[in-house]
Homo-oligomer: A and B are copies of this chain.
């Protein structure tokens, strides 16, 4: 007899919580389903009722990690915000969520990033999903005349590169939140909206403009 779906769901959440604890204690070690079953006090066959395979388990770990980021992207893209504010929220809210997650438990955050790097095949779909949502925003921006002279793919790639330190979860560790903050992110997004894809005026680099006096 099948148990109700909710019991299975509750069991999965409990196992994922246990994995948090295992990662807290041991870091990003690679453990087998047999070891995991022992760690959570289950028989291997019982564990399999919740997660069929290690792949299914890793997918569930990734799903949990990305859940709030996906929610943010869906909310922002579906909102009525003006476009620039949408683009800002799209990046700033996810960045803020990563910072919060990092600051709550830096070691756990680092270990999960290591696990993600070791199993990038599980992460790749989420990276592609982020590009998909960004493409929608870029298409919307192009309808309004932004990012001229570029294809959607080119604009997405250039934006991803310019904003990389605010999207890449490793950057919070490598660069740190003393240097990365939402205010600077906003200035980078403004810079993109004003300049990305625009043609430089001839002589822009030589012509004397206003002189800075203070």
B-chain residues with CB within 8 Å of residue A171 when the two chains form the complex: 164
Whether a CB of chain B sits under 8 angstroms from the CB of A132 is no
Chain A interface size, under 10 / 10 to 19 / 20 to 34 / 35 or more: 35 or more
CB distance from A83 to the nearest CB of B (A): 4
Interchain CB contact under 8 A, A209 and B146: yes
Interchain CB contact under 8 A, A212 and B85: no
Copy count, this protein chain: 2
Name A194's contact: one of B84, B85, B175, B195 (CB within 8 Å): B195
B-chain residues with CB within 8 Å of residue A144 when the two chains form the complex: 205-209
Q: Residue of B at shortest CB range from A212?
A: B142
Whether a CB of chain B sits under 8 angstroms from the CB of A161 is yes
B-chain residues with CB within 8 Å of residue A142 when the two chains form the complex: 212
Whether a CB of chain B sits under 8 angstroms from the CB of A116 is no
Interchain CB contact under 8 A, A200 and B143: no
- Once the chains are docked, how many angstroms separate the CA of A157 from the CA of B161? 15
- Once the chains are docked, how many angstroms separate the CA of A82 from the CA of B74? 45
Q: Residue of B at shortest CB range from A146?
A: B209
Whether a CB of chain B sits under 8 angstroms from the CB of A48 is no
Q: Residue of B at shortest CB range from A208?
A: B144
- Once the chains are docked, how many angstroms separate the CA of A111 from the CA of B145? 46
Which chain A residues in 136-173 approach chain B with CB under 8 Å?
A: 142-146, 148, 150, 154, 157-158, 161-162, 164-166, 171
Whether a CB of chain B sits under 8 angstroms from the CB of A54 is no
Interchain CB contact under 8 A, A193 and B179: no
- Once the chains are docked, how many angstroms separate the CA of A207 from the CA of B193? 13
Q: Residue of B at shortest CB range from A203?
A: B82
CB distance from A55 to the nearest CB of B (A): 23
Given contacts A144-B206, A193-B204, 20 further A-B contacts (CB under 8 A): A83-B206, A84-B200, A84-B204, A142-B212, A143-B211, A144-B208, A154-B184, A157-B179, A158-B188, A158-B191, A161-B165, A161-B180, A164-B175, A187-B196, A187-B197, A190-B195, A190-B200, A193-B195, A194-B194, A194-B195
